[in-house]
Structures are given as C-alpha cells and as structure tokens.
C-alpha cells in the first residue's frame, strides 16, 4: 500500500489532484458543522449581492440566498450522488461482467447482447429516458446515471475475466474441488479489483458531470435543495447580468472533475502491475551512457569491446552486471563467451548495440569499436542502421522473439526491408533463399507457416535466417542452442560453423556449455561476476585451464567414454552484483584462496600458453606451462 502511495506521489499532477480532492471532500464532510447561513432561506431584499459583500462572501443568488452556503451544500450533494452512482455502476457492472466472463457460452451471449443493446443508445438520451420514466428527482437521476454506466464496467470486466478464467491457477482451483462461488470470490475477484478501481477512478468525474447535467435540465435535484448542476441551471437566466452566480458553481465543477481525473490517471498508473516495476518511464531507444574517459582503440579489430562497464541503477542500489570487459573478434572468427547464468554475458552482448533497457541500465565506462568507430553513445540513428544490418543477434528463445500472429515469411521480409527497401516479391524470394540456407526443408512452403507450427529447432533456424537477412558482419548468438536437444543443437552449430567459413562472419557465441565451445569456437573468454577471468585460444584453455573457476567449470562437464568419474559441482553461489567483494569475486568458492586474493584489483596476466588469466595463483603455473 505504501508503495502505491509512493508511486502516486511521484506523479506531481496526480498528487495535486489528490490534495485538491482531499480538501474538497473534507470541506463537504464538514459542511454541517461550519457556521454557514441556511442555504435555502430567501431574502429578496438582498438579491444578486456581488462576491465579498458584507455577510455573503461569494454573494447571493436571484432569491437572495447565500451562495457560499449553497455551494458547500451543493458540492456535498453532487459528490455524494457522483460517488454513489460510481459505486453502484461498478458493483453491478463488475458482477455482470464477471458472471458473463466466467461462465462463458450462452450465459455470456445473453448478458453481453443485453449490454450491447444498452450501449447502442446515446448515453445522455438513455439517462433522460430513464429519468422521464421514473420522474424527476435526485434519486432517480442517480439511478439513471448508474444505469447508463453499468455497460461500460460490464464490458471491461468481462474482457479481463475471460482472460483469467482460463488461467492455470483457476484450473488448479477447480481441480481441488472448489465451488464456482469460491473460485470467483477467491481467485477471479482479487485479479479484477485493480481494474475495477481504475475504471471507477477514471469515470467518477464523468458521473458527477452527468448528474450535474441532469440537474441542470431540472431533472435531478428539486428546489429548494440544490446540487452544483441545479445551481448552474437556476443561474442561467442571470448569466450576463450577474455572472458570479454561474461562475461559482461552474468553477467548483471544473475543479472537482479536473482533480478527480488527474487523480484517476495517477491511480491507474500506480495500480497497473506492469508499470509498478519502474517501467512507468518507457525504455529509451538506446542504453543510457554516463562514462568518463573513453579508452582509445587498441588495435584494428572488426569489433572490439574495451573496458565495458554496464550497471543497473535500481532505486539506490547499483548492480554492476558488467565490470570492465575486453573482447575482440575478427572476421571469420568465433569467440565463445562462457560463464554461469547471471555472470553478465547477456548484458555484455546487449550493451554492444545499446540494447540494454534504460532505465535501469546505464553504461558507465568503456568503448565498443566497430571498424574503429565507437558505438557507445553513438546517435540512435547510427545504431539503428547498424542493428540487424551489420551486427545481428540470435536470441535463446525463438518462440518469444518471433511474433505469434505473423508468418515467419512476413517476419523475414520485414527484417530484410527494414534496411533494404526492396519490392515484396523480391524480398520473398530472398526470404526463401535464407530459409534454404539454414537448411529448412520445403522452404517455399514453410515460409507461410506461423511460428507455432514449427518445432523449436526450426524456429531457431528462422531466428538465424533472420539474423543473416542483411548479410551482417558480426553475429552475436546468446545461448541459441540452450533450449534445443543435442541432435538439433549439433545441426545448428554446424550450420553456424559453415556460415562463418563461407561468409567470413564473426561470431560471438554465448553459452554455458564447454562442449559447444570446444566444437565451434576459436577463442574463448570465461566470465565470472561481470568480468573476464580467463581468455585465450580454445585449445589452450581446454587443455590447461588456468583459473580455478575455469577448471571447476570444466570438471562439471561429464565426458562420454571416460569411465566413472566423480562429477564436481562448484560449492557456493556467485556473488550478488550489487555487493561485489574486494579482490577476486571467486575467492569465497575457490579451493586455493589466499589472503592476497581479497585485496585490491587483480589484473589479467599473460601466461606463456597464450592465454590470459585474472588470478594470482593460477592452476597452471608459469614454469609448468612453459614445459
Ligand atoms: P547471463 O550471464 O546469464 O546472461 P545476465 O547478463 O543476464 O546474465 O545478467 C547479469 C547480471 O545482471 C545478473 O546478476 C542480473 O541479476 C543482473 N541484471 C540483469 N538485468 C537486470 C535488471 N533489469 N535489473 C537489475 N539487475 C539486472
Ligand atoms: Mg543470458
């Protein structure tokens, strides 16, 4: 609850609305206690006194009644009727919507067609018809306003309920033998209440206006009792000669409705669960950059990442997801990036093209040189023209990255045309060619399939085809085979291997599987807690892992045909990246830990094997490696 108020308070306008509305409601509640003149006592000798007159702060109306007093009592009445109408409409509408949505089928059909019929009438006409049938009066106006708003709530809530009624937790509740009533009250209702509150907060203002409208026409409150609408109606004839009699109630209606609407918007934003996680601010098109000195390009690599630091700033915590990473790839080369999950591999990969969502992501240091050009902090248009055209991504879960409602062909064509405006037919031919190049059988037919009609391996190939669509020079593959079985994985790996040989592609291959690295990569970089701890040619590292972490990681991999060997698991857990320890982040899990490991920053050291390691007591000692 306090989180809700915090979110609400962050929205300045909503806060202003809340304060104004609070003051108005408080005044309305206190009205009977205030020393006000009787609002209904006429005094024809003192008609149309202007505001700030003796004994009448806001003046008097055409019958000499005190306007301040009438305003306060009128506000009280208008608010009461508006809120009552909103609560009645919300309760009945939600009940109807939940029943229709939950039971579905014929119940749904009958109820919703009835609601549709009500909705087919113009709003105010329907309210007028209801009041005409029931006779004028405030209570009847309330009924009319509530009634015309029921369909709105019913429709809204039905839509939400239909979605919820088929969720697994409702099925689970059915499986434990709960009655429908209990399911509705216990499972469905809590999920729709936020929606009801949101719909109410955004319609109360509207209902107050509608009630005022009916009263203005003389169909609501009856004299001498006045609400804001009837005050306006009575003042109409003196609008020109004595405008203050209209302005006073008019301004009050304006203030109330505006405050309610601002507050309602704020409540909606604060209650929306998707917006709670800080997504209230939309992510920027590229990652935010706040860095000091920019490292100069070291050598002329195709893509070179230097000292990259990416952090997540969440509230007042700083998560150092990537803490100074150096990587390079050359054309035709495959670099493996390996590490436990959470070690910062994905964030590194996404930082290269500025794809880390900001907020909360911030690139706080380093540079990414693509053909000598720094991409960090590059203008959005420049990054956009490189994304997918020069540097393409393949992601882990192809079902999540493909759009479910378009055929894979459409999506491939879109990928092609995003960078090369080609006629559709030509793009389609190219798409078929791409599908063939990733060895999808029957490519000319499969192109019209939807993602759900394909198997996981097929979809992953579509993902690869999409990455190849614009003939990129670098492909960054983020665990593309983790979700696949080994046979499909082997096919995909050999496909990528062929592609890099044929096209001279540079590949950064992210994985947590040493087997995959051995098969595909020329060089490998091992990541731990956001830093590279060991880097070098795959063979050298596989033969003689130098960092204790690498060695342990490899000991976790079972080998076929090696007899029974005890599989090691690395004890402990990686450190949390918002509280990294001093010195080596692996120290707590390392069997060779010494006191020096926990002091200062440990740099990458060159070993004679051609690898580099961030360890003061590597597994392979210098002399041993020299042998
Ligand atoms: P992986 O190596 O498994 O790909 P990631 O690069 O996805 O790991 O994540 C690296 C670290 O960044 C993790 O510790 C994760 O908790 C943190 N992280 C990732 N995204 C966010 C985020 N939006 N907010 C805070 N921390 C994040
Ligand atoms: Mg990842």
281 C-beta closer than 6 A to ligand 1: no
Q: How far is the CA of 348 from the centre of ligand 2 (A)?
A: 9
Q: What is the DSSP letter of 326?
A: E
The residue contributing the CA closest to ligand 1 atom 25 is: 312
Q: What is the CATH number of the domain that holds 249?
A: 1.10.3720.10
Asked if the structure places residue 470 within a domain, the reply is no
Q: What is the DSSP letter of 45?
A: G
Q: How far is the CA of 482 from the centre of ligand 2 (A)?
A: 10
Ligand in nearest proximity to the CA of 347? 1
388 C-beta closer than 6 A to ligand 1: no
Residue 305, pLDDT score = 92
Pocket test for ligand 1, best of 310, 342, 580 (most atoms within 8 A of CB): 342
Residue 564, pLDDT score = 66
Dihedral angle of Cα 409, 412, 418, 419, to the nearest 10 degrees: -130
Residue 627, pLDDT score = 45
Q: Which atom of ligand 1 is nearest to the CA of 478?
A: 4
The residue contributing the CA closest to ligand 1 atom 10 is: 344
Closest to 469 in 3D by CA, of 403, 398, 397, 418: 418
> For residues 66 and 84, what is the distance between their CA atoms, to the nearest angstrom?
27
Structural tokens at position 595: 């006191």
Asked if the structure places residue 305 within a domain, the reply is no
Alpha-carbon Rg for the chain, nearest whole angstrom, is 34
More confident call, 221 vs 449: 449
Q: 3-state SS of 139-156? A: HHHHHHHHHHHHHHHHHH
Closest to 545 in 3D by CA, of 561, 564, 565, 528: 528
* Residue 272 confidence class, pLDDT cut points 50, 70, 90: low
Chain center to CA of 220? 44
Closest to 156 in 3D by CA, of 105, 206, 199, 118: 199
Range of the domain at 215: 17-30+65-275
> For residues 72 and 30, what is the distance between their CA atoms, to the nearest angstrom?
9
Beta carbons of 505 and 472 less than 8 angstroms apart: yes
Residue 358, pLDDT above cutoff 60:
yes
476 C-beta closer than 6 A to ligand 1: no
Residue 282, pLDDT score = 65
Residue 373, pLDDT above cutoff 60:
yes
- For 173-190, what is the mean pLDDT? 91
Pocket test for ligand 1, best of 281, 325, 347, 585 (most atoms within 8 A of CB): 347
Beta carbons of 226 and 39 less than 8 angstroms apart: yes
Closest to 403 in 3D by CA, of 414, 415, 411: 411
Asked if the structure places residue 124 within a domain, the reply is yes
Asked if the structure places residue 144 within a domain, the reply is yes
Asked if the structure places residue 428 within a domain, the reply is no
Domain boundary among 235, 250, 275: 275
Residue 423, pLDDT score = 93
Asked if the structure places residue 572 within a domain, the reply is yes
Q: Which atom of ligand 1 is nearest to the CA of 530?
A: 10
Residue 142, pLDDT above cutoff 70:
yes
Residue 430, pLDDT above cutoff 90:
yes
The residue contributing the CA closest to ligand 1 atom 14 is: 342
Q: How far is the CA of 345 from the centre of ligand 1 (A)?
A: 8
Asked if the structure places residue 361 within a domain, the reply is no
User: For the segment 22-35, what is each residue's pLDDT rounded down to a tens digit?
Assistant: 999 999 999 999 88
Q: How far is the CA of 196 from the centre of ligand 2 (A)?
A: 38
- For 605-622, what is the mean pLDDT? 81
> For residues 249 and 230, what is the distance between their CA atoms, to the nearest angstrom?
9
- For 173-194, what is the mean pLDDT? 91
Residue with tokens 């050359």: 330
* Residue 45 confidence class, pLDDT cut points 50, 70, 90: confident
Task: State pTM to two decimals.
Answer: 0.67
Residue 464, pLDDT above cutoff 80:
yes
The residue contributing the CA closest to ligand 1 atom 12 is: 321
* Residue 590 confidence class, pLDDT cut points 50, 70, 90: confident
Residue 626, pLDDT score = 45
- Going from the C-alpha of 201 to that of each of 46, 266, 269, the distances in angstroms are 41, 9, 11
The whole-chain average pLDDT of the chain stands at 87
Q: Which residues, including other chains, have CB under 8 Å from residue 368's CB and lie 6 or more apart?
A: 303, 304, 305, 306, 308, 351, 352, 374, 375, 376
Domain boundary among 275, 309, 325: 275
Q: Which region among 309-313, 332-336, 568-572 has the lowest average model confidence (pLDDT)? A: 568-572
> For residues 365 and 179, what is the distance between their CA atoms, to the nearest angstrom?
58
- For 372-384, what is the mean pLDDT? 88
Pocket test for ligand 1, best of 288, 313, 321, 350 (most atoms within 8 A of CB): 321
User: For the segment 521-550, what is each residue's pLDDT rounded down to a tens digit?
Assistant: 999 999 999 999 999 999 999 888 889 999
Domain boundary among 275, 293, 309: 275
Asked if the structure places residue 266 within a domain, the reply is yes
- Helix ranges, 272-374 (H): 273-276, 345-352
347 C-beta closer than 6 A to ligand 1: yes
Q: Which region among 212-216, 230-234, 271-275, 499-503 has the lowest average model confidence (pLDDT)? A: 271-275
Q: How far is the CA of 473 from the centre of ligand 1 (A)?
A: 27
Q: 3-state SS of 415-439? A: HHHHHCCCCHHHHHHHHHHHHHHCC
Pocket test for ligand 1, best of 337, 346, 396 (most atoms within 8 A of CB): 346
Ligand in nearest proximity to the CA of 341? 1
The residue contributing the CA closest to ligand 1 atom 15 is: 342
Q: Which region among 347-351, 353-357, 482-486, 534-538 has the lowest average model confidence (pLDDT)? A: 482-486
312 C-beta closer than 6 A to ligand 1: yes
Work out how many domains the chain is built from and give that number: 2
Q: At what angle do helices 138-165 and 123-134 cross, to 10 degrees?
A: 130
- Going from the C-alpha of 575 to that of each of 323, 343, 546, 549, 586, the distances in angstroms are 13, 9, 21, 13, 8
Q: Which region among 275-284, 343-352, 417-426, 602-611 has the lowest average model confidence (pLDDT)? A: 275-284
346 C-beta closer than 6 A to ligand 1: yes
> For residues 281 and 274, what is the distance between their CA atoms, to the nearest angstrom?
11
- Helix ranges, 469-512 (H): 486-503
More confident call, 82 vs 281: 82
Phi-psi region of 614 (alpha: psi -120 to 50; beta: other; left: phi over 0): beta
345 C-beta closer than 6 A to ligand 1: yes
Q: How far is the CA of 594 from the centre of ligand 2 (A)?
A: 31
339 C-beta closer than 6 A to ligand 1: yes
Residue 87, pLDDT above cutoff 90:
yes
Residue 277, pLDDT score = 52
Q: What percent of the chain has pLDDT over 70?
A: 95
Residue 562, pLDDT score = 65
Residue 318, pLDDT score = 87
- For 475-482, what is the mean pLDDT? 88
Closest to 480 in 3D by CA, of 470, 469, 491: 491
The residue contributing the CA closest to ligand 1 atom 6 is: 344
* Residue 74 confidence class, pLDDT cut points 50, 70, 90: very high
Residue 53, pLDDT score = 80
């Amino acid at each position: 609850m306090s989180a809700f108020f915090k979110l609400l308070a962050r929205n300045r306008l909503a806060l202003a609305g809340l304060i104004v509305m609070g003051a108005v409601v408080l005044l309305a509640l206190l009205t009977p206690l205030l020393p006000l003149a009787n609002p209904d006592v006429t005094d024809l000798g003192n008609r149309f006194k202007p505001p700030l007159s003796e004994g009448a702060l806001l003046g008097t109306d055409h019958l000499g009644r005190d306007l301040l007093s009438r305003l306060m009592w009128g506000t009280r009445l208008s608010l009461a009727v508006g809120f009552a109408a909103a609560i009645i409409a919300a309760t009945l509408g939600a009940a109807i919507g939940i029943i229709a949505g939950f039971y579905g089928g014929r119940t749904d059909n009958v109820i919703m067609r009835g609601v549709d019929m009500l909705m087919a009438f113009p709003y105010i006409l329907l309210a007028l018809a209801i009041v005409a049938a029931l006779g004028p009066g405030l209570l009847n106006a309330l009924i009319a306003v509530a009634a015309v708003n029921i369909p709105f709530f019913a429709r809204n809530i039905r839509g939400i309920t239909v979605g919820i009624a088929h969720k697994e937790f409702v099925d689970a509740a059915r499986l434990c033998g709960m009655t429908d009533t209990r399911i509705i009250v216990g499972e469905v209702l809590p999920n729709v209440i936020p929606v009801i509150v949101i719909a109410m907060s955004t319609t109360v203002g509207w209902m107050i206006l509608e009630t005022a409208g009916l009263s203005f026409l003389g169909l609501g409150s009856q004299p001498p009792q006045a609400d804001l609408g009837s005050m306006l109606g009575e003042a109409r004839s003196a609008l020109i000669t004595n405008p203050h009699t209209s302005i006073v109630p008019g301004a009050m209606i304006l203030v109330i409705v505006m405050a309610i609407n601002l507050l309602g918007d704020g409540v909606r934003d604060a209650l929306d669960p998707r917006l709670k996680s800080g997504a209230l601010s939309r992510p920027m098109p590229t990652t935010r950059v706040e860095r000091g000195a920019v490292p100069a390009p070291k050598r002329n690599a195709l893509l070179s990442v230097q000292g990259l630091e990416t952090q997540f700033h969440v509230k007042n915590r700083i998560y150092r997801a990537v803490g100074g990473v150096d990587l390079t790839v050359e054309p035709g080369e495959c670099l493996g990036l390996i590490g436990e999950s959470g070690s910062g591999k994905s964030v590194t990969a996404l930082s290269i093209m500025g794809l880390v969502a900001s907020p909360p992501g911030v690139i706080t240091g380093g540079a990414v040189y693509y053909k000598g050009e720094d991409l960090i902090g590059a203008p959005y248009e420049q990054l956009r023209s490189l994304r997918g055209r020069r540097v393409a991504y393949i992601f882990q879960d192809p079902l999540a990255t493909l759009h479910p409602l378009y055929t894979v062909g459409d999506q491939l064509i879109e990928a092609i045309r995003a960078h090369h405006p080609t006629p559709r037919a030509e793009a389609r031919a190219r798409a078929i060619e791409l599908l063939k190049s990733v060895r999808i059988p029957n490519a000319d037919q499969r192109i019209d399939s939807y993602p759900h009609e394909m198997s996981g391996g097929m979809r992953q190939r579509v993902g690869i085809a999409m990455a190849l669509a614009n003939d990129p020079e670098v492909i960054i593959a983020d665990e593309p085979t983790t979700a696949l079985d080994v046979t499909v994985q082997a096919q995909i790996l050999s496909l990528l291997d062929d592609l890099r040989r044929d096209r001279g592609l540079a590949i950064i291959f992210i994985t947590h599987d040493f087997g995959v690295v051995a098969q595909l990569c020329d060089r490998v970089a091992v990541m731990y807690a956001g830093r590279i701890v060991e880097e070098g040619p795959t063979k050298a590292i596989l033969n003689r892992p130098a960092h204790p972490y690498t060695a342990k990681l490899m000991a976790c991999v079972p080998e076929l045909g090696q007899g029974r060997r005890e599989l090691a698991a690395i004890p402990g857990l990686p450190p949390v990246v918002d509280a990294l320890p001093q010195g080596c982040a692996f120290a707590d899990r390392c069997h060779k830990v010494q006191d020096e490991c926990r002091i200062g920053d440990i740099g990458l050291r060159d070993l004679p094997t051609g690898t580099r390691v961030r360890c003061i007591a590597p597994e392979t000692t210098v002399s041993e490696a020299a042998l």
